[in-house]
Amino acid sequence: MAQRNSSPPESPLTPAAGWQGVVVDWSGDREAFKVPWGKAMMWVFLLSDTFIFGCFLTGYMTVRMSTTVPWPNPSEVFALTIGGTAVPLILIAIMTFILISSSGTMAMAVNFAYRRDRAKCAALMLATALLGACFVGLQAFEWTHLIVEEGVRPWSNPLGAPQFGSTFFMITGFHGLHVSAGVIYLAIVALKVLGGRYEKSGNYQIVEIAGLYWHFVDLVWVFIFAFFYLW
C-alpha cells in the first residue's frame, strides 16, 4: 500500500464520466463557480431572499383562499378614473412599465461599465435609480389612494376581506423597501463609478452585482403583479 503512488497534486481527481464527472467538476480545486466571490455571494443572498418573497406570497395565497369574506376585485380597486372613465389597473401598468424599463437601463450600465465608459455607466445607473425612485413615488401615490379614498387599512377593509389590506400593504411594502434600498445602493455605486474608484482598482464587477440585485427586485415585482393584481 505504501509503495502505491499517489496521484500528482496538479490533478487531484481524475476526470470521470457521467454523474461522477458532474461531481468532480463542481468540487473542483479552489472555486466551485468560475465567478468572483462577490457575485456568488449576491446570488446566494438572492436565493435566500427568493424564499422570503416565496413565503410571503404563499402566506398571501393561503389567507386569500381561507378567508370567509369575499375578496375585492383588484381590477376595480386599482382602477383610476381618467377623463371620466375608469381604466382598470392603469397605474399598476405604468409602474410595471417603469420598473421593467429600469432593468433595461441597468443592463446597459453594466455593459458600459465593462467597457470602462465611466460617464455613460454612471449616467445609466443614476437613470435606473431615478426610475426606481419614480416607482416608489407611484407606490406612495397608490397607497395614499387606497388609504385616504378607499379607506383600506392593514386591519380593516370596507371593500371586503380585511386580509386584502394586510397582505397588500405588507407585500408591496416589503418590495418597496427592497426598491428603496436598491435606489440607495445604485446611487452610491454610481457616485463611486464617477469618482473613478473602480478605475483605480481596475474592477467594475460591483456594477454587475448591483445589477443582479436590481433585476431580482424587478423579477419579484412580476410575480407580485401576477399574483396580486391579475388573480
Partner 1 sequence: MAYSSAEQHHEPHSFWTRYVWSQDHKVIAVQYTLTAIAVGLVALVLSNLMRLQLGFPGRFAFIDANHYYQYVTLHGMIMVVYLLTALFLGGFGNYLIPLMVGARDMVFPLLNMLSYWVYLLAVLVLMASFFVPGGPTGAGWTLYPPQSILPGTPGSDWGIILMLVSLLIFIVAATMGGLNYVITVLQARTRGMTLMRMPLTVWGIFVATIMALLAFPSLFVSGVMLLFDKTLGTSFFMPAIVSMGQALSYKGGSPILFQHLFWFFGHPEVYIVALPAFGIVSDLISTHSRKKIFGYHMMVWAIVAIGALSFVVWAHHMFVSGMNPYFGFFFATTTLIIAVPTAIKVYNWVLTLWNSSIHLSVPMLFAIGFISTFLIGGLTGLFLGNVSVDIPLSNTYFVVAHFHMVMGVSPILVIFGGIYHWFPKVTGRLMNDTLGKLHFWVTFLGTYAIYFPMHYLGILGMPRRYYAYDNYAFIPASAQQLNAFITVAALIVGVTQLVFLYNLVHSTFRGRPAGSNPWRATTLEWQTPDTPPGHGNWGAEQPEVHRWAYDYSVPGMAQDFVPQNSAVAGGGDDHDQKAAGRKKT
Q: State how beta strands 80-82 and 85-87 pair.
A: antiparallel
In whole angstroms, how close is the CB of 213 to partner 1 at the nearest point? 13
66 binds partner 1 (CB under 8 A): yes
Q: Out of 76, 97, 114, 203, point to the residue binding partner 1 (CB under 8 A).
A: 203
CB of 104 or CB of 154, closer to partner 1: 154
148 binds partner 1 (CB under 8 A): no
Q: Which of residues 152-191 bind partner 1 (CB under 8 A)?
A: 154-155, 161-163, 165-167, 170, 174
Q: Out of 41, 82, 177, 181, point to the residue binding partner 1 (CB under 8 A).
A: 41
Determine the Cα–Cα distance for residues 207 and 212; give it in Å rounded to an integer. 9
19 binds partner 1 (CB under 8 A): no
Phi first, then psi, for residue 71 (nearest 5°) are -85, 135
132 binds partner 1 (CB under 8 A): no
3-state percent breakdown (helix, strand, coil) of the chain, nearest 5 = 70, 5, 25
Q: Say which DSSP state 6 is in.
A: P
User: 3-class DSSP state for residue 45?
Assistant: helix
**For residues 196-228, b (16+ Cβ closer than 10 Å) or e, as one string?**
eebeeeeebbbbbbbbbbbbbbbebbeebbebb
CB of 2 or CB of 148, closer to partner 1: 2
Q: Out of 17, 18, 19, 48, point to the residue binding partner 1 (CB under 8 A).
A: 48
Phi first, then psi, for residue 82 (nearest 5°) are -120, 120
Stretch binding partner 1 (CB under 8 A), from 62-70, 110-118, 126-134, 180-188: 62-70
Q: Which helix (H) or strand (E) holds 135?
A: helix 118-144
Q: Out of 21, 28, 137, 196, point to the residue binding partner 1 (CB under 8 A).
A: 28
Phi first, then psi, for residue 87 (nearest 5°) are -100, 115
Cell 378567508: give the residue: 67
In whole angstroms, how close is the CB of 23 to partner 1 at the nearest point? 7
Q: Out of 21, 22, 33, 73, point to the residue binding partner 1 (CB under 8 A).
A: 33
- Interface residues with partner 1 (CB under 8 A)? 1-7, 9, 12-14, 23, 26-33, 35-38, 40-41, 44-45, 47-49, 51-52, 54-56, 59, 62-63, 66-69, 154-155, 161-163, 165-167, 170, 174, 203
